């Protein structure tokens, strides 16, 4: 396999709650004023990313996996997931509050939907004054208390609200009730899964006057009703090293503050690597091939790569791989 920083054409998604920051802040080519998501790297059926640069231009991510297997993914990743790309990478712009939701764990998702569960993390790229997330409950609740609040339209009274700013990072494990609040622009790394249980949508209606489907019954045995302070990620920001943010069975994410020229040895990782540029811009070089990434862009590095050169006056990157 040819090893170079592979870029993909973003898959843009209009959402009821979307806005214009993906265009105005991240420079995406978008005409719509309600674009909520840019899928940067996806192998979700029907939404498979297509290469935008280099020798593999116009090939799909699925074609690369089918053709190159372990050279792209890594032997350990291939043995665990086959040629199903295990994570989905997005940028999300919430002009309005997203619905309150949660995701089932692997066991429940497999039984009900023949799918993986959905563990995810968020890195806040920009937040309007006073912007918040909902993460978990503000007290321990029983299933009966939860149901009573849902019926009385008082669910938000028992939820935990977190004010956010740039750089804040949150780990959302399965079962945790959550929602992105209005005014938040973030990077999301998640298991490849589209299984979401929506439990409350603020009684909103779409342009045709319809409410969105709720998954009230399915959610009941998928929710973690316990109040837990396990979601805010503390991490160091040392320059020119990989600062660990999240390590879980589904992905590892590091924060990299790059200034100058960094020779980054990734020998023996046995996984593809992903670099999401969350601020500034950088050149990513593998051998003689160089690709520039700007804020809001993402590249995929094949697993056979041993050394990545990162060159920047000032860039913040999220480095993602399967540990």
The pLDDT tens digits for 20-58 are: 999 999 999 999 999 999 999 999 999 999 999 999 999
Least confident of 206-210, 268-272, 317-321: 206-210
Q: Could you report the per-residue pLDDT of 131-177, keeping only the tens digit for each?
A: 999 999 999 999 999 999 999 999 999 999 999 999 999 999 999 99
Q: What is the pLDDT of residue 203?
A: 85
pLDDT at 237 over 90: yes
pLDDT at 205 over 90: no
| In this structure, CATH architecture of domain 6-219 | Sandwich (2.60)
Q: What is the pLDDT of residue 105?
A: 92
Q: What is the pLDDT of residue 307?
A: 97
The reported pTM is 0.96
pLDDT at 206 over 80: no
Q: Is the Cα torsion angle 206, 197, 215, 147 positive or negative in sign? A: negative
Cα(91)–Cα(15) distance, rounded to whole angstroms?
13
Q: What are phi and psi of 240, to 5 degrees?
A: 60, 30
Q: What is the pLDDT of residue 48?
A: 98
Q: What is the 3-state secondary structure (H, E, C) of the chain?
A: CCCCCEEECCEEEEEEEEECHHHHCCCCCCCCCCEEEEEEECEECCEECEECCCCCCCCEHHHHHHHHCHHHHCHHHHHHHCCCCCEEEEEEEECCCCCEEECCCHHHHHHHHCCCCCCEEEEEEEECCCCEEEEEECCCCCHHHHHHHHHCCCHHHHEEEEECCCCCEEEECCCCCEEECCCEEEEEEEECCCCCEEEECCCCCCCCCCCCCCCHHHHCCCCCCCCCCCCECCCCCCECCCEEEEECCCCEEEEEEEEEEEEEECCCCCCCEEEEEEEEEEEEEECCEEEEEECCCEEEECCCCCEEEEEEEEEEEEEEECC
**Domain boundaries 243-321, CATH class:** mainly beta
Q: Could you report the per-residue pLDDT of 85-104, keeping only the tens digit for each?
A: 999 999 999 999 999 999 99
Q: CB atoms < 10 A from the CB of 237, how many?
A: 11
Q: Beta partners for 129?
A: none
Residues making up the binding site: 103, 120, 178
pLDDT at 62 over 90: yes
Which has the closest alpha carbon to 268: 236, 235, 303?
303
Q: What is the pLDDT of residue 174?
A: 95
Q: What is the mean pLDDT of the chain?
A: 96
Active site residues: 198
Strands, sheet with 35-41, edge to edge from the N-terminal-most edge strand: 11-19, 35-41, 87-94, 184-191, 120-127, 169-172
Domain with CATH 2.60.120.10 in the chain: 6-219, 243-321
Cα(309)–Cα(285) distance, rounded to whole angstroms?
5
**115 — pLDDT class (breaks 50, 70, 90):** confident
Q: What are phi and psi of 149, to 5 degrees?
A: -65, -35
Q: What is the pLDDT of residue 268?
A: 87
Residues making up the binding site for Zn(2+): 103, 120, 178
Q: What is the pLDDT of residue 194?
A: 81
Q: What is the pLDDT of residue 182?
A: 98
């Amino acid at each position: 396999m040819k090893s170079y920083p592979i870029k993909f054409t973003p898959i843009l998604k209009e959402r009821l709650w979307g806005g214009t920051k993906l265009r105005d802040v991240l420079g995406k080519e978008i005409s719509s004023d309600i674009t909520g998501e840019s899928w940067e790297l996806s192998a979700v059926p029907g939404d498979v990313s297509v290469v935008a640069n280099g020798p593999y231009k116009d090939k799909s991510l699925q074609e690369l996996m089918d053709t190159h297997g372990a050279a792209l993914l890594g032997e350990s990743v291939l043995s665990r997931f086959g040629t199903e790309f295990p994570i989905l990478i997005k940028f999300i712009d919430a002009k309005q509050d997203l619905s309150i939701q949660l995701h089932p764990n692997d066991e429940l998702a497999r039984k009900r939907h023949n799918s993986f569960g959905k563990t995810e993390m968020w890195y806040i790229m920009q937040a309007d004054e006073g912007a918040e997330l909902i993460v978990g409950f503000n007290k321990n609740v029983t299933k009966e208390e939860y149901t009573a609040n849902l019926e009385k339209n008082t669910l938000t009274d028992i939820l935990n609200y977190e004010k956010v700013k740039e750089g804040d990072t949150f780990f959302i494990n399965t079962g945790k009730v959550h929602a992105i609040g209005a005014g938040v622009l973030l990077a999301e790394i998640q298991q490849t899964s589209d299984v979401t249980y929506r439990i409350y949508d603020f009684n909103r209606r779409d342009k045709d006057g319809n409410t969105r489907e709720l998954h009230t019954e399915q959610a009941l045995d998928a929710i973690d009703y316990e109040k837990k302070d396990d979601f805010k990620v503390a991490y160091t920001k040392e320059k020119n090293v990989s600062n660990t943010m999240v390590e879980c069975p589904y992905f590892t994410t590091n924060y990299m503050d790059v200034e100058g020229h960094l020779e980054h040895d990734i020998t023996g990782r046995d996984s593809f690597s992903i670099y999401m540029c969350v601020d500034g811009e950088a050149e990513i070089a593998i051998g003689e091939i160089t690709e520039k990434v700007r804020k809001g862009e993402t590249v995929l590095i094949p697993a056979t790569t041993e050394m990545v050169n990162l060159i920047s006056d000032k860039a913040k990157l999220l480095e993602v791989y399967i540990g």
